[in-house]
Amino acid sequence: MSTRKTSLTDKQTKNGTSKYVLERCASVNEYYDIAFKVMLLGDSSVGKTCVLVRFKDGAFLGGNFIATVGIDFRNKVVDVDNLKVKLQIWDTAGQERFRSVTHAYYRDAQALLLLYDITSKPSFDNIRAWLTEIHEYAQKDVVIMLLGNKSDVAAERVVKKEDGEKLAKEYGVPFMETSAKTGLNVELAFLAIAKELKHRATQQPNDPKFQIHDYIESQKQKSGCCSLV
Ligand SMILES: Nc1nc2c(ncn2[C@@H]2O[C@H](COP(=O)(O)OP(=O)(O)OP(=O)(O)O)[C@@H](O)[C@H]2O)c(=O)[nH]1
C-alpha cells in the first residue's frame, strides 16, 4: 500500500516576501535495498532545486526564482548493479542566513553535491569557502562532487570549464558541468554518486575499488563524448 505525506514548505520570493507552498514530500513507499543521504550545497540561485527537480521529475523549473528557505528533501530510487539504491536528497538554502540550519544536517550526509553557476564568478569563488565548511561540519569520508551548473547559458559564461576542472583536481573531487534546463549530466552526477556509495557499503576486502572518475569518463564516452563536459 502506498502512503502519501504532504508538508508545508516556507518558500521565499526574490523580493523577500515569504509564501507557503503545499508540497508532497516522500510520496510512495518504494522498495529499496540500501539508502543514502545526499545533500545539495552552493550559493543561492546556482540551481540546486532545479537540479534536484530535473533528476527527480525530469522537468525544468523555469520562471520566477523562489529561494529555498531552510531545507527540504526528495527521494529517488535508482538501480545500481541489480540493487535498488534509495537516494534521500536534501536541498539546502544557499542564503547565508540559513547556514546554521543546514550545518546541522551535514553530519548525516554520505555525499555532497557542491554547485556553482558558470554565469556567476562569485558563486565559483565561494566554492573554497564551501569546502572549508564541508571539512568542518561533514563526515571525514563524505563523497564530494563539484558541479558547474547552467552550462546551457553559453553566452553568459564567466567561469571556464578548465577552471572548474582545475579546482576539482586541487581538492581531488570529481567534476562535471551540468544543466538543469537541458538535463545535461544531471542523471550521471547522481548515478555516479549512487554507485560510489553502493560500492563503499558493499565492498569486500579483495574487491577492486570503484573509480568514480573512470566511471564518469566511460559514461561520457558512451553518450557521445564531446557534447558532455
Ligand atoms: N538557464 C538555466 N537556468 C537555471 C538552471 N538551473 C537553475 N536555473 C535558474 O536559476 C534560478 C535559481 O534556481 P534554483 O534551483 O532555485 O536555485 P537554488 O540554488 O536552489 O537557490 P536557493 O534555494 O536560494 O539556494 C531559477 O530562476 C532557475 O530557473 C540551468 O541549468 N540553466
Question: For residue range 157-173, what is the model confidence (pLDDT) as tens digits?
Answer: 999 999 999 999 999 99
Q: How many CB atoms lie within 10 A of CB 93?
A: 22
pLDDT at 6: 34
Give the closest residue to 176 by CA, choosing from 141, 210, 213, 211.
213
**By alpha-carbon position, which residue is closest to atom 12 of ligand 1?**
45
User: Is the CB of residue 152 below 6 angstroms from any atom belonging to ligand 1?
Assistant: yes
pLDDT at 200: 93
What percentage of the chain reaches a pLDDT higher than 90? 66
Helix (H, G, I), strand (E, B) or coil at 139: coil
Q: Would you say 176 and 147 are in contact if contact means Cβ atoms under 8 Å apart?
A: yes
Give the Å distances, CA to CA, from 207 to 150, 173, 210, 217.
37, 22, 9, 21
pLDDT at 224: 64
Distance 165 CA to ligand 1 centre (A): 22
| Confidence class for position 156, pLDDT limits 50, 70, 90 | very high
Alpha helices, DSSP H only, in the chain? Answer: 48-57, 99-106, 121-125, 127-137, 161-171, 186-202, 212-222
Which cell numbers hold the place of 174? 570529481
User: Is the CB of residue 113 below 6 angstroms from any atom belonging to ligand 1?
Assistant: no
Rounded to 10 degrees, what is the CA torsion of 18, 22, 26, 29? 180
CA dist., res. 73 & res. 114, Å (int): 16
What percentage of the chain reaches a pLDDT higher than 70? 85
**By alpha-carbon position, which residue is closest to atom 14 of ligand 1?**
47
| Confidence class for position 188, pLDDT limits 50, 70, 90 | very high
| Confidence class for position 18, pLDDT limits 50, 70, 90 | very low
Give the Å distances, CA to CA, from 44 to 1, 62, 69, 101, 165.
38, 16, 10, 15, 22
User: Is the CB of residue 174 below 6 angstroms from any atom belonging to ligand 1?
Assistant: no
CA dist., res. 144 & res. 2, Å (int): 33
Closest atom of ligand 1 relative to the 92 alpha carbon: 25
More confident residue, 225 or 107: 107
CA dist., res. 145 & res. 10, Å (int): 28
User: Is the CB of residue 87 below 6 angstroms from any atom belonging to ligand 1?
Assistant: no
User: Is the CB of residue 67 below 6 angstroms from any atom belonging to ligand 1?
Assistant: yes
Pocket test for ligand 1, best of 18, 44, 50, 96 (most atoms within 8 A of CB): 50
Q: Would you say 46 and 123 are in contact if contact means Cβ atoms under 8 Å apart?
A: yes
Q: Complex ipTM above 0.95?
A: yes
Residue 226 above 60 pLDDT? no
pLDDT at 125: 98
Closest atom of ligand 1 relative to the 149 alpha carbon: 31
Which cell numbers hold the place of 166? 582545475
pLDDT, tens digit, for every residue of 94-143?
Answer: 888 888 888 888 889 999 999 999 999 999 999 999 999 999 999 999 99
